[in-house]
Structure 1
Amino acid sequence: MVTLTQLNGATKQEFTEMVGWVFEHSPWVAERAWARRPFRSVDHLFAVMADVVKGSTRDDKLALFRAHPDLGARARMSSASLSEQHRAGLQQLSFAEYHLLTRLNRAYRDKFGFPFILAVRDRTPREIQKALEQRLAATQEEEEQRALAEVLLIAWFRLRDMGIEER
């Protein structure tokens, strides 16, 4: 269990080790947030991290998006992504479902230049597929904004799930 007191007193490296994984393979978010300590609450910590991401360059945001795995991919991914996708049923897809999702993921990546990002918590494989199909119709700008919102939601879930004690 991590406490706010520990986070606020941590060195930059310690802080990054504790929360740097919250944004998929992007510890730079935690590294930049560290300088804005002390954090008054988990909500405040998240708000600071979200501000870091929102205030970053477009290239940084695209790199953050590209750090995410394709949904349903049978490839190496962070343990957090693996767990989230497993709970959503994406590791138990039928052969046909897997190939459809793979095709849609490829079309999305080809169109937007980064993987389809969706907070899959409490979603079924069918809901995920439908969201992917719908979002393929978006513009580049719309989809970058939506991907950013989804990245932030995923990070919020991960940070909340850490069970940081506010003491």
Structure 2
Amino acid sequence: MKTLADVNAMSPSAFIEAFGDVAEHSPWVAREACGFRPFASRDAMIGAFELAVKSANRDAQLALIRAHPDLATNAKLTDDSTREQAGAGLDSLTAEEFARFTSLNDAYKSRCGFPFIFAVKGATKHMIVENFEARVKNVLADEFKMAISQVCRIFRFRIEDRVEP
């Protein structure tokens, strides 16, 4: 785990190497957040990542959302996604549960044009399915905002795991 002093002292390339994977397959978020250093706190660092995403254009935001894997699939996951999904029990679904997730993933992507995003850390597979079933009915504009919000929660969790308070 790094201290905030360590983070603030990193070269831009070292910062991007250390945190470029916080936003799934989107190192541009870390590159943008790096420009806000020095961070006064870990929360300020998280805020810089959020600001980078929220101030990006819609195409960049959509690409970031689409960089995330479907939940509970056999897709190649990053180490963080693998740990997070396993922690929520998504690596040990029954055949029926897997079929339900597949059906919800397909319906959601068909409706929204991007994968369902849910920060699974601390959640159970039952909580995730309930949220999935409710959100698959949302209007696209609301769901886009929710996806960005969930992406920001994901990197909050990931930064909290890597940087001391």
Deviations 1:74-97 (A, max 9, x none): 110111001000010001001111
With 110-119 and 5-14 compared, the bigger mean Cα shift is at 5-14
Deviations 1:96-119 (A, max 9, x none): 110111011011011111100001
Deviations 1:107-159 (A, max 9, x none): 10111111000011222212211111110110110001111111111110111
Q: Which runs of 4+ in 1 moved over 6 A?
A: none
- Aligned equivalent of 1:103: 103
Percent identity between the two aligned chains: 41
Give the Å deviation of 1:25: 1.1
Structure 2, unpaired ranges of 5+? none
- Aligned equivalent of 1:39: 39
- Aligned equivalent of 2:146: 146
User: What is the TM-score normalised by the length of structure 2?
Assistant: 0.96
- Aligned equivalent of 1:63: 63
The amino acid across from 2:145 in the alignment is Q
- Aligned equivalent of 1:156: 156
- Aligned equivalent of 2:51: 51
Structure 1, unpaired ranges of 5+? none
User: What is the TM-score normalised by the length of structure 1?
Assistant: 0.95
CA distance in 1, matches of 2:48, 2:10: 16
Structure 2 matches for 1:4-153, cutoff 5 A? Answer: 4-153=4-153
CA distance in 2, matches of 1:73, 1:159: 25
Give the Å deviation of 1:20: 1.4
Q: 1:61 to 1:7 in 2, by over 3 A?
A: same
Deviations 1:30-75 (A, max 9, x none): 1011122111110111111111110000011111101111010111
The amino acid across from 1:138 in the alignment is N
- Aligned equivalent of 2:2: 2
CA distance in 1, matches of 2:81, 2:92: 15
CA distance in 2, matches of 1:165, 1:74: 33
The amino acid across from 1:88 in the alignment is A
Q: 1:122 to 1:36 in 2, by over 3 A?
A: closer
The amino acid across from 1:32 in the alignment is E
